[in-house]
């Protein structure tokens, strides 16, 4: 009898549980049935943001980052909650409008990340004026099929909308009190999720969120929608801070440079070039790794290689650009300052005081000029070159530009150099000493005008002996027809132009008392996947090897970042074979150029972020705008909080922490110098007087 009672109780309990489960499932089904638009809206917008992380940062960790998914869900559901205040018949327009908005955010960031390896900033809207000039590059090298995948979200919403319309979903009546109740319940749920999210944040998460330097980290932890909102605040903040944050910025600035000496430490290279003329060459998209490449025993850059072998070659040199690319490179090369964290200095902060190489040389009696056969207002160079101290800017209007001599954005490098030699010859005749910057242009993305680059096959040619003893040449396509292959053709042309320029200067006698300084402004801005074929080509199948092939060479994100090095060369006609003819392999950045050249030519800027490489030597560190850094021992990726060792030396956590703190401090100080115009002594004195009166 007891057994029967227990069995009955157990059966009764199971029935109750089943009924509860059915009711629960019924409630869930009812919720989805009555809130289809809201649920679909949240799902597709969160799906898009999740795909963005995966397609841009390519790791499961980023794809399944629950913090980012939670943050995106909170944002989208909060926006969606207000849709309940709208009558059902008008609700779709609200949700679909915001779906388009969130989709646009994902698409724009997807395109942007392909080119800049970073996420978009509102402050870059000021640069849309330049899109027309580089439109072909955007379409050909940047816009990809993956950037259109986010349209799936709006398409799904449209499909759902038409199905609901057929079922008369929008004709149902909802009382105002019912709509308000749904909105409040949804907002309460979002607030609950927000509380959970905030509890999980670490001090590192919060610090990086407010500093905004490390955009990838913020998107990985806070999601794309929170990042974009934070970026909007950060983009407006400089305008506000420039009025209200001066005191703090000035204090940090003075503390940072308190120990800066008023003169350089002397070394064996001090003043070795004092009084000599200088030609600086801004080599567009020139990379160091191409200098080691040959196709069919022909060097890709024979002239660059010759200059490197005959002069001072710094083969571990890094550009430190951000979204301003070439203009960022010019800024750092001239001033030893880093790019700003929002906008670009050349466009957003062109009215600030800068201490540039040309202004320092002006003080030493040099005539200074710059030459670039492009629109003078591109990257706002007309204004900024004057601000940096160039006394004359030769732009497109100063050159004869014929249609047959145009490559890409403007006058071909060969014609540009040819016409520039005549101008330099005249300058040389009229001035005792001079300094000129020449900005190359032809080797600019999208590297598509291969018919104008001249003959330079990037295939593999082999001579084979057949069974009958005769020989035959076999050609394997290799890099032909690829974007990277076209880049090699383009850079070979640019190198050829460089060789003709050096020869032309020599014929005019302009190298006798002149130092050539050449730097690559940044890498080719081609995605990492373009290198797979270069390093893993299977000529038998004319394809890329499989990863399980024993000969497969992995080209991971670390190698890709380190492979973006650019050349820095100092060369004179008579340097070869002397003590000045060497290769320096210590890590060096663009911000080290001012102090290094300053020591050699005898000019000095106290407010520099870099170092004379011959003083600091192997102890140097190069900081990047995204918070990453590299020294001779390791490359540190701040997004991953991980590093790649470059030597066998032991690396301590304390050293990593110190260098990371140093990097963050340097970036903050540099940004403050530009945003708050801290080098403008007249303006700062007035602000101090106002502060004293208060």
465-482 pLDDT, tens digit per residue, is: 887 888 889 999 999 999
What does DSSP assign to residue 294?
E
Q: What tens digit of pLDDT does each residue of 546-573 get?
A: 999 999 999 998 999 999 999 999 999 9
Taking the C-alpha atoms of residue 116 and residue 442, their distance in angstroms, rounded to an integer, is 20
Tell me which residue of 97, 101, 50, 98 sits closest to 72, measured CA to CA.
Answer: 50
Rounded to 5 degrees, φ, ψ at 433 are -145, 150
Work out the average pLDDT over 266-278: 96
In the chain, the percentage of residues whose pLDDT exceeds 70 is 86
Give the confidence band of 24 by pLDDT, cuts at 50, 70, 90. very low
- Per-residue pLDDT of 389-445, as tens digits, reads 999 999 999 999 999 999 988 999 999 999 999 999 999 999 999 999 999 999 998
How, if at all, do strands 392-394 and 588-589 pair? unpaired
Q: Look up residue 352 and give its DSSP letter.
A: S
Q: What is the mean pLDDT of residues 451-469?
A: 91
Burial degree of 648 (CB within 10 A; 0-12, 13-18, 19+): exposed
Chain mean pLDDT for the chain: 87
Around 92, how many Cα atoms within 13 Å sit in the side-chain half-sphere? 16
- Give 534's pLDDT tier (boundaries 50, 70, 90): very high
Helices (H) and strands (E) in the chain, counts: 24, 22
Count of positions (residues) in the chain? 694
Mean pLDDT of 2-11: 51
Q: Does domain 268-614 have CATH number 3.30.200.20?
A: no
Q: Is the model's pTM score more than 0.85? A: no
**Mean pLDDT to the nearest integer, 627-651:** 93
Residues of the chain with CATH 3.40.720.10: 268-614
Strands 392-394 and 621-623: unpaired
Choose among 43, 48, 66, 46: nearest CA to 110.
Answer: 48
C-alpha dihedral (307, 312, 318, 324), degrees to nearest 10: -60
Q: What is the pLDDT of residues 218-229, one digit of tens each?
A: 888 898 999 888
Q: Tens digits of per-residue pLDDT, 577-626?
A: 999 999 999 999 999 999 999 999 999 999 999 999 999 999 999 999 99
Question: Nearest-CA neighbor of 156 among 71, 99, 241?
Answer: 99
Query: Is 50 exceeded by the pLDDT of residue 670?
Result: yes
Residue with tokens 């100080």: 669
Give yes or no for a contact between 518 and 333, defined as CB atoms under 8 angstroms apart: no
Q: Which residue has the tokens 């800017």?
A: 393
Handedness of CA 183, 187, 189, 190 (dihedral sign): positive
Please give the structure tokens belonging to residue 354: 């800068």
**Extended strands (E) in 397-506:** 406-407, 410-411, 434-439, 460-465, 471-476
């Amino acid at each position: 009898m007891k057994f029967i009672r227990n069995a009955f109780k157990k059966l009764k309990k199971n029935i109750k549980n089943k009924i509860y489960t059915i009711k629960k499932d019924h409630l869930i089904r009812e919720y989805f049935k009555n809130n289809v638009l809201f649920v679909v809206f949240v799902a597709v917008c969160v799906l898009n943001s999740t795909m963005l992380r995966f397609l841009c940062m390519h790791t499961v960790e980023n794809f399944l980052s629950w913090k980012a998914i939670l943050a995106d869900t909170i944002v989208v559901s909060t926006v969606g909650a207000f849709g309940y205040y709208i009558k059902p018949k008008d609700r779709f327009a609200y949700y679909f409008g915001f779906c388009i908005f969130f989709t646009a955010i994902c698409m724009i960031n997807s395109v942007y990340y392909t080119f800049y390896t970073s996420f978009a900033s509102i402050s870059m809207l000021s640069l849309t004026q330049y899109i027309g000039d580089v439109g072909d590059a955007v379409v050909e090298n940047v816009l990809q099929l993956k950037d259109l995948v986010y349209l799936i979200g709006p398409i799904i919403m449209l499909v759902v909308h038409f199905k609901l319309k057929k079922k008369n979903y929008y004709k149902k009546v909802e009382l105002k009190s019912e709509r308000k109740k749904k909105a409040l319940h949804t907002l309460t749920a979002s607030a609950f999720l927000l509380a959970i999210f905030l509890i999980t944040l670490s001090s590192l998460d919060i610090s990086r969120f407010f500093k905004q330097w490390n955009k990838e980290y913020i998107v990985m932890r806070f999601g794309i929608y929170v990042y974009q909102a934070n970026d909007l605040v950060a983009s407006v903040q400089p305008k506000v801070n420039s009025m209200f944050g001066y005191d703090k910025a000035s204090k940090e600035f003075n503390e940072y440079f308190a120990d800066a000496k008023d003169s350089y430490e002397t070394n064996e290279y001090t003043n070795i070039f004092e009084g000599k003329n200088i030609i600086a060459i801004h080599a567009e998209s020139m990379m160091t790794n191409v200098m080691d490449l040959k196709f069919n025993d022909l060097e890709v850059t024979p002239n660059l290689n010759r200059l490197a072998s005959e002069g001072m070659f710094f083969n571990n040199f890094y550009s430190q650009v951000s979204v301003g690319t070439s203009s960022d490179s010019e800024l750092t090369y001239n001033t030893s300052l880093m790019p700003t964290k929002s906008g670009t200095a050349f466009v957003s902060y062109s009215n600030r005081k800068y201490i540039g190489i040309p202004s320092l040389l002006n003080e030493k009696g040099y005539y200074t000029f710059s030459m670039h056969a492009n629109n003078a207002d591109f990257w706002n160079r007309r204004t900024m070159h004057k601000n940096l101290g160039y006394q004359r800017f030769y732009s497109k209007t100063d050159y004869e530009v014929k249609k047959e001599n145009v490559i890409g954005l403007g006058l071909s490098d060969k014609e540009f150099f040819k016409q520039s030699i005549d101008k330099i010859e005249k300058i040389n005749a009229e001035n005792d000493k001079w300094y000129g910057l020449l900005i190359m242009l032809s080797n600019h993305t999208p590297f598509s005008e291969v018919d104008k680059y001249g003959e330079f096959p990037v295939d593999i040619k082999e001579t084979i002996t057949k069974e009958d003893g005769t020989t035959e040449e076999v050609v394997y396509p290799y890099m032909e027809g690829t974007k990277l292959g076209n880049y090699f053709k383009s850079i070979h042309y640019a190198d050829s132009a460089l060789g003709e320029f050096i020869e032309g200067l020599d014929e005019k006698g302009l190298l006798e008392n002149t130092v050539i300084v050449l730097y690559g402004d940044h890498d080719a801005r081609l995605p990492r996947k373009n290198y797979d074929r270069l390093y893993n080509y299977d000529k038998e199948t004319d394809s890329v090897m499989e990863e399980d092939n024993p000969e497969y060479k992995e080209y991971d994100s670390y190698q890709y970042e380190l492979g973006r090095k650019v050349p820095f060369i100092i060369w004179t006609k008579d340097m070869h074979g002397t003590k000045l003819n060497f290769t320096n392999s210590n890590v060096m950045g663009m911000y080290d150029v001012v102090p290094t050249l300053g020591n050699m030519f005898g000019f000095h800027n106290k407010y520099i972020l870099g170092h004379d490489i011959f003083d600091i030597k192997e102890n140097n560190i190069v900081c990047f705008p995204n918070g990453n850094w590299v020294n001779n021992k390791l490359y540190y990726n701040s997004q991953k909080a991980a590093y790649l060792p470059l030597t066998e030396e032991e690396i301590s956590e304390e050293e990593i922490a110190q260098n990371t703190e140093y990097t963050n401090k340097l970036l903050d100080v540099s940004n403050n110098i530009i945003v708050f115009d801290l080098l403008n002594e007249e303006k700062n004195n007035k602000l101090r007087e106002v502060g004293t009166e208060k």
